Amino acid sequence: MSARSKRGSALEAVLVHALLLVAVVYALYPVLWVVTLALSKAGGIEPRVIPVPHGADEITLDNFRLVTGAGDPERSWLFARQLVNSLVVSFATAATAVAIATPAAYALARFEFVGKRSGLRGMLLTQMFPGVASAVPLYLILDALHLLDTRSGLVLVYAATAVPFAVFQLRGAFLAIPVDLEEAAMVDGATRTQAFLKVALPAARPAIAVTALFAFMSAWNEFILAATLLGRESAFTLPVVLQSYVGEYSTQWGAFAAGAILVSVPVMVLFYVAQRQLLSGLTAGGVKG
Amino acid sequence: MSEAIHAASRTATNDGTSASVESSDTSLPEVPRAMRCAARGIKKAFGATPILRGVDLEIPEGTFAVLVGPSGCGKSTLLRLVAGLEEADEGAITLADRDVTHLPPRDRDVAMVFQSYALYPHLTVRDNLAFGLKLRGTSTAEIDERIEEASAMLGLAKLLDRLPKQLSGGQRQRVAMGRAIVRRPTIFLFDEPLSNLDAALRAEVRVEIRRLHDRLGATTLYVTHDQVEAMTLADSLWVLNGGLVEQKGPPLEIYERPRTKFVATFLGSPQMNLLSGRLVKEGGLVFAEGGGVRSRVDDERFRSELDDGREVTIGVRPHDMFLAKGDAPKIAELKVEIVEALGSEAFAHGWLTSSGPTVIARLDAADARTVKPGSVIPLGAAPTSIHLFDAATDRALA
């Protein structure tokens, strides 16, 4: 390599990294604000260009203590319960949506039956309306079922909205799996069901993981329906709790920021754990190419 | 080894008489005995499109049968019907004298190698090989033994713990074959297994497949659109066209005596030259004339039907033509347009008449140097190599 092109590639590297640095700052600047807010004293910090605390005396974990109710057994029990609510509702939503959507998507991808097209269209139609539009009827239905203020009621509502999207996503995944794989399994001695369970399902695992994660996150972040359908504080999910720090006359930004960080942690952990599944194309190499 | 593998499953024997069984279209579906695989009166349509229009198939024990034909001729559908992946609208299929017409694939005891290989992407090579055996409840010791045997045969021993995506195309192909071999099935089914390999590898694996077949003594049904594979692999070749068997028999016999114009042009590369003409009788000899050709016809071969003036299509394979030198009788003169020199031989493309179709003639490598585009060369061909087809029916004159 000549000295000239070496210098050229060094310049290129510098430019690329400068660009990346700008992108990182752009992405992390708001996060930095949230972290700083969460760590600063009750009155908050002065607005600064670079939002970092000046000196250790500006840093405190008070906001986290406030949110989690540290030192107050009753409040911390409540927070734990609300955290569990969020976790249970989100996991149950993801599990229910995937459990219902996976076989449905497989059937829609592989079989011809009466009502297939209109069913797909019907499901698409439900996606056109935001969940809020049906908040009132949902409230009445849950009331009639005595499921208001319960986790199962909320799971029912969330799963109902998550299933159509999950079906579409998983149908695409099953369509992308070559039929040859299942046919090979059936020639090898598998029944239709075994071919689905032992071949199609493992091949669709990355897509199922993504779908489950989306369902989890939509439930984890959902606020309006939760706020509408949940009345008791002990039934709240975390977004509803978080909103309670934004008052009509004053807002506890520090507590809000601390809560926001706590709410983000489980999702970050999930993404970290699932990243291999999310990135790997498991079908690669099974068939030609 | 082949004995060890197949002794247990060998129930039918080839007595050599069954290949002549012909369908008697009236009494369906009756299937001939002593066949490893037999199909009778198979019809299949997808929607309103007929794919197979009444096909009979007989594969004796240990035979390598190849279905060949252009795309859409129904060859893959026929294979899938034998596998049980499609169900026939009409007709019957037996495997080792067992009527399997309405059985699902898993109960047919067949193994199939797919064009896409269809390896299970989430399983290692070892688990891919073991998959079918586990489903059938084979003991672990037996599974290990069969995997060891098959992987030694195919050179897979070092790859057993890899995933399909970590293998090259050729390796995947071998795993797909291994998966079939460990099953020790009644019949091996191959659906265009070489079409995803590059040319060099294809030739290599082609030989490998034939070697494996000879070693295992396995009965095989192989689908391809590639005439080289068809010619080189088959004991018994079945040429399909438009959902019907156009001709069946040993490949060389079909090559030398194509029964229709379609078969004549489908097998052989470059294609057989076809020219419209008529028969002329002169002094007790029969000549085929037309399109710039005048050649004596081997009337020993065409004892009947050689009426004077009969309209025919004259067929000559490029390989049967040669540069007529010295006293050698010439049948035509070729105005050369292009010479394709392949090293060992060459092909001259050109015209016999100004309005005629392009004609291809094979030249010796030495002649290829002297023949230039634009020149006119005399062509010869032995009377025995002239094919004649009825102009109206496209069937060969017998």
- pLDDT tens-digit profile of A70-108? 888 999 999 999 999 999 999 999 999 999 999 999 999
- Indicate which of B76, B122, B177, B205 best probes the interface with A, i.e. most A CBs within 10 Å of its own CB: B122
| Residue B198 touches chain A, beta carbons under 8 Å | no
Q: Which long-range contacts (CB under 8 A, 24 or more apart) does A18-25 make?
A: none
Shortest CA distance from B191: residue in chain A: A180
Torsion angle, alpha carbons of A168, A174, A179, A180, to 10: 160
Same domain as A178, residue A80? yes
Please say if the pLDDT value at position A174 is more than 60.
Answer: yes
Contacts A207 to B, Cβ<8 Å: none
| Residue B62 touches chain A, beta carbons under 8 Å | no
User: Picking from A59-63, A123-127, B240-244, B297-301, which range would have the lowest pLDDT averaged per residue?
Assistant: B297-301
pTM summary value = 0.83
Final residue belonging to a domain, choices A28, A44, A60: A60
Same domain as A232, residue A133? yes
pLDDT score, position B28: 45
Q: Do A93 and A166 form a contact (C-beta atoms < 8 A)?
A: no
d(CA A146, CA A229): 11
Interface contact flag, B135 A184, Cβ < 8 Å: no
Same domain as A284, residue A156? yes
Give the count of domains, chain A: 2
Please say if the pLDDT value at position A220 is more than 80.
Answer: yes
Provide the β-strand partners of residue B44.
B52
Shortest CA distance from A284: residue in chain B: B165
pLDDT category at A46 given cuts 50, 70, 90 is low
Q: Count Cβ atoms within 10 A of the Cβ of residue A203 and give its class: 0-12 exposed, 13-18 middle, 19 or more buried.
A: buried
Interface contact flag, B196 A288, Cβ < 8 Å: yes
Final residue belonging to a domain, choices A16, A34, A60: A60
Rg of chain B over all Cα atoms, to the nearest angstrom = 25
pLDDT score, position A42: 67
Here the tokens at position A125 are: 């139609």
| Residue B115 touches chain A, beta carbons under 8 Å | yes
Contacts B115 to A, Cβ<8 Å: 180, 288
Give first-to-last CA distance, chain B, whole Å: 45
Q: Is A187 helix (H, G, I), strand (E, B) or coil?
A: helix
Q: Do A101 and A166 form a contact (C-beta atoms < 8 A)?
A: yes
Q: Do B378 and B323 form a contact (C-beta atoms < 8 A)?
A: yes
Final residue belonging to a domain, choices A9, A43, A60: A60
Same domain as A95, residue A34? no
Give first-to-last CA distance, chain A, whole Å: 35
Same domain as A167, residue A48? no
- B337: CB partners within 8 A, 6+ apart: B349, B350, B351, B358, B373
CA angle B289–B295–B298, rounded 5-degree value: 115
pLDDT score, position B4: 42
- A48: CB partners within 8 A, 6+ apart: none
pLDDT score, position A194: 96
Please say if the pLDDT value at position A222 is more than 50.
Answer: yes
Q: Nearest-CA distance from A188 to chain B in Å?
A: 5
Q: Do B142 and A261 form a contact (C-beta atoms < 8 A)?
A: no
Here the tokens at position A39 are: 């760590």
Q: Nearest-CA distance from B135 to chain A in Å?
A: 6
Here the tokens at position B171 are: 């390796």
Interface contact flag, B119 A285, Cβ < 8 Å: yes
- A165: CB partners within 8 A, 6+ apart: A127, A214, A215
Q: Which residues of A touch B (CB under 8 A)?
A: 178, 180-181, 183-191, 194, 198-199, 202-203, 205, 282-289
Give which of B271, B128, B118, B269 is closest to B196, Cα–Cα: B118
Same domain as A86, residue A1? no
d(CA B57, CA B161): 40
| Residue B103 touches chain A, beta carbons under 8 Å | no
pLDDT score, position B332: 94
d(CA B334, CA A83): 90
Q: Do B264 and B278 form a contact (C-beta atoms < 8 A)?
A: no
Give which of B283, B294, B291 is closest to B330, Cα–Cα: B294
User: Picking from A249-253, A267-271, B292-296, which range would have the lowest pLDDT averaged per residue?
Assistant: A249-253
The CA distances from residue A32 to A5, A272, B392, in Å, are 39, 20, 86
Q: Is B176 helix (H, G, I), strand (E, B) or coil?
A: helix
Same domain as A48, residue A117? no
DSSP E strands in chain B: the ranges are 37-46, 49-59, 64-68, 90-95, 98-99, 110-113, 187-191, 220-224, 236-241, 244-249, 273-282, 285-290, 293-296, 311-316, 321-323, 332-341, 345-351, 358-364, 376-381, 387-390
DSSP state of A251: B
pLDDT score, position A272: 87
Peptide bond into B270 cis (omega under 30): yes
Q: How many other C-beta atoms can be found within 10 angstroms of the C-beta atom of residue B226?
A: 17
Half-sphere exposure of B277 (CA within 13 A, CB side): 29
pLDDT score, position B9: 39
User: Looking at the partner chain, which of A180, A198, A205 has a beta carbon nearest the beta carbon of B114?
Assistant: A180
Indicate the angle between helix axes B125-135 and B169-181, nearest 10 degrees.
20
- Indicate which of A179, A187, A198, A277 best probes the interface with B, i.e. most B CBs within 10 Å of its own CB: A187
Mean pLDDT of chain A: 88
d(CA B193, CA B119): 13
Q: Is B353 helix (H, G, I), strand (E, B) or coil?
A: coil
- Indicate which of B106, B115, B138, B197 best probes the interface with A, i.e. most A CBs within 10 Å of its own CB: B106
Provide the β-strand partners of residue B380.
B322
Concatenated DSSP letters of B263-313: HHHHSSSSPPEEEEEEEEEETTEEEEEETTEEEE--TTT--SS--TT-EEE
| Residue B112 touches chain A, beta carbons under 8 Å | yes
Interface contact flag, B114 A184, Cβ < 8 Å: yes
Q: Nearest-CA distance from B40 to chain A in Å?
A: 22
d(CA B381, CA B367): 16
Concatenated DSSP letters of A204-247: THHHHHHHHHHHHHHHHH--HHHHHH--SGGG--HHHHHHTTB-
Shortest CA distance from A200: residue in chain B: B120
Same domain as A156, residue A26? no
Same domain as A231, residue A110? yes
- The residue assigned the tokens 């734990």 is A80
| Residue B111 touches chain A, beta carbons under 8 Å | yes
Shortest CA distance from B188: residue in chain A: A187
pLDDT category at A252 given cuts 50, 70, 90 is confident
Here the tokens at position B320 are: 């049967």
Q: How many other C-beta atoms can be found within 10 angstroms of the C-beta atom of residue A211?
A: 25
Same domain as A49, residue A153? no
Same domain as A76, residue A30? no
Please say if the pLDDT value at position A288 is more than 60.
Answer: no
pLDDT score, position B298: 84
Q: Which domain CATH number covers A270?
A: 1.10.3720.10
Mean pLDDT to the nearest integer, A22-43: 87
Give which of A240, B159, A238 is closest to B177, Cα–Cα: B159
Interface contact flag, A188 B135, Cβ < 8 Å: yes
Q: Do B223 and B215 form a contact (C-beta atoms < 8 A)?
A: no
Q: Do B19 and B42 form a contact (C-beta atoms < 8 A)?
A: no
The sign of the dihedral angle between the CA atoms of B290, B295, B298, B301 is negative
- Indicate which of B128, B131, B189, B196 best probes the interface with A, i.e. most A CBs within 10 Å of its own CB: B131
Contacts A183 to B, Cβ<8 Å: 83, 85, 105, 112, 114, 118
Interface contact flag, A185 B120, Cβ < 8 Å: yes
| Residue B201 touches chain A, beta carbons under 8 Å | no
Same domain as A181, residue A96? yes
pLDDT category at A280 given cuts 50, 70, 90 is low
Dihedral-angle region of residue B143 (phi above 0 means left; psi in -120 to 50 means alpha; beta otherwise)? alpha
Q: Is A9 helix (H, G, I), strand (E, B) or coil?
A: helix
Run of H or E residues at B199: helix B199-216
The sign of the dihedral angle between the CA atoms of B16, B17, B18, B22 is positive
φ/ψ of residue B98, rounded to 5: -110, 130
Which residue numbers in chain B have pLDDT < 50? Answer: 1-33
| Residue B79 touches chain A, beta carbons under 8 Å | no
A·B CB contacts under 8 A: 97
- Indicate which of B116, B168, B174 best probes the interface with A, i.e. most A CBs within 10 Å of its own CB: B116
pLDDT score, position A176: 92
d(CA A32, CA A83): 24
- A194: CB partners within 8 A, 6+ apart: A185, B135
pLDDT score, position B390: 93
Shortest CA distance from B117: residue in chain A: A287
Contacts A287 to B, Cβ<8 Å: 114, 116-119, 121
pLDDT score, position A260: 92
Mean pLDDT to the nearest integer, A187-200: 96
What is the extent of the structural domain holding A25?
A: 1-60
